[in-house]
Amino acid sequence: MKNLWEVLARRRDYRLVLGAGLVSLTGDWILRIGLAFHVYALTGSTLASGGLLLASFLPLVLLGSLAGVFVDRWDRRRTMVITNLLHALVLLPLLLVRDGDTLWVIYLVILAQSCLQQFFRPAEQSLIPALVDAPQLVTANSLNSQANDISRLVGAGVLAAAGGLPLLALVDAATYLIAMAFLLGVRHRPERVKVERVGGVRVAVRGIKGEWVEGIRICLSGPALRLVFVFGLVTGVGEGVMSTLFAPFVSAELGGDGTAYGLITSSQAVGGIAGGLIAAAVGSRFSAAKLWGFEAVAFGLIDLALFLYPLFWKGLAPAFVCMVAVGVPGAFMIAGLMTVIQRLTDDASRGRVFGALFATEGLAVLVGIVAAGALGDVVGIIPMLVVQGLGFSVGGVVVLSRLALLTPARVDQLV
């Protein structure tokens, strides 16, 4: 509780970064739900709706790792400010979308936004350790991950079906400008040694390539970071399966309708908010690596209970209970994992590590989506979803069996 008070009351720069993320994420959820609705309304095609997912994931896979090189070169605060401004600007073409003939504008906007996000996310995660003390990292990461759950509840469905795309675009653009104003108030400035870069374009390209290769080497050089990436791969595949088959699961296995599906998926945010508050208040008392491992096991076991109970019990109530409950270990797990990564890396390489990790997870999610689409009807919905729960549980057990790699003094500093 002490760290929670100190982070929120005494860390002005962190509060501004947290507020910026909360505001812009709320706008993102409004736009995300609204675009899914309007694209299907314009086309009546699920393939067209799937194109939104493809446009958002391709930059993550193709650009994520390379973007980390520039995040490590640039001032992280300035990077976040500029990307927020560009986010607001690239939304403006949505004002021109009127019918299916201009659908390509939506795809270009989503593609551009996803490209910008590859610079913002590593910059944000790399900046947080500079804004709080080391013992406060679990608390800060808990609050940061909680912003997504809060914004989902606030933003999901708001203006999604009313006002059309122009209103959605203007609202989301406004949230980015407000977030930019928050970030402009951050006083932290990095203490970096300036490296003079001379030579032409060819020399510059070689330098960027060298830094990218060095970042990949850092990611793969130690067993601790390799464990982080393997965990991201395995659980990312499971998340892809979950995102593809959960709606069919609610419909075919639970007998729920679209309203039930929306309420069940939103209920996880309730647990996430509660878990985030608890993690922010008491998480710093525990080893970040143990939080990651134990809570991954708990997360997977609750998911397994959710996916398997329809074999023995008919009804929607257990699904709501499980989705609320799983949000609590989910919040602890993310806070522990992010803290471990931040402590395993130094400031000079942190952007490249996070960029590569996000790209790896994105690729794994795409693999899971393809696998679920190809095998869901053959293997069955429940057996495929069980893979997701097992991935988290087994991954958590592996993490707990490797605590010696993850808890040296430089990685886990307990209060």
- pLDDT tens sequence across 198-221: 555 555 566 777 888 888 888 887
Average pLDDT, the chain: 82
C-beta of residue 37 within 8 angstroms of C-beta of residue 28: no
Q: What is the pLDDT of residues 20-37, one digit of tens each?
A: 888 888 777 777 766 766
DSSP tag of 252: I
Q: Quick one: pLDDT at residue 29? A: 74
User: CA nearest 58: which of 369, 368, 366, 374?
Assistant: 366
- The pLDDT tens digits of the residues spanning 150-187 come to 776 666 545 444 556 777 788 888 889 999 999 999 88
Does the pLDDT at position 77 exceed 60?
yes
Contact 274, 153 (CB under 8 A): no
pTM for the structure as a whole: 0.82
DSSP H or E run through 57: helix 46-73
* DSSP characters over 327-341: HHHHHHHHHHHHHHH
Query: Phi and psi (nearest 5°) for 396?
Result: -65, -40
Least confident of 8-17, 61-70, 252-261, 356-365: 252-261
Q: How far apart are CA 295 and CA 285, in angstroms?
A: 15
Residue bearing tokens 């040694």: 193
- Token pair for 184: 């402009």
Closest by alpha carbon to 76, among 25, 12, 137, 13?
A: 13
* Cα–Cα distance measured from residue 208 to residue 214, given in angstroms and rounded to the nearest whole number: 10
pLDDT at 139: 85
> Burial, 126: exposed, middle or buried (Cβ in 10 Å; 0-12, 13-18, 19+)?
buried
Q: What is the per-residue DSSP string for 354-407?
A: HHHHHHHHHHHHHHHHHHHHHHHHHH-HHHHHHHHHHHHHHHHHHHHHTHHHH-
Contact 141, 284 (CB under 8 A): no
Structural contact between residues 147 and 21, judged by C-beta atoms closer than 8 angstroms: yes
Question: How many CB atoms sit inside 10 A of residue 149's CB?
Answer: 23
Kindly give the residue spans of alpha helices, DSSP state H, lying in 132-163. Answer: 137-155
Nearest to 289 by CA among 328, 329, 341: 341
Which pLDDT does position 309 carry in this prediction? 93
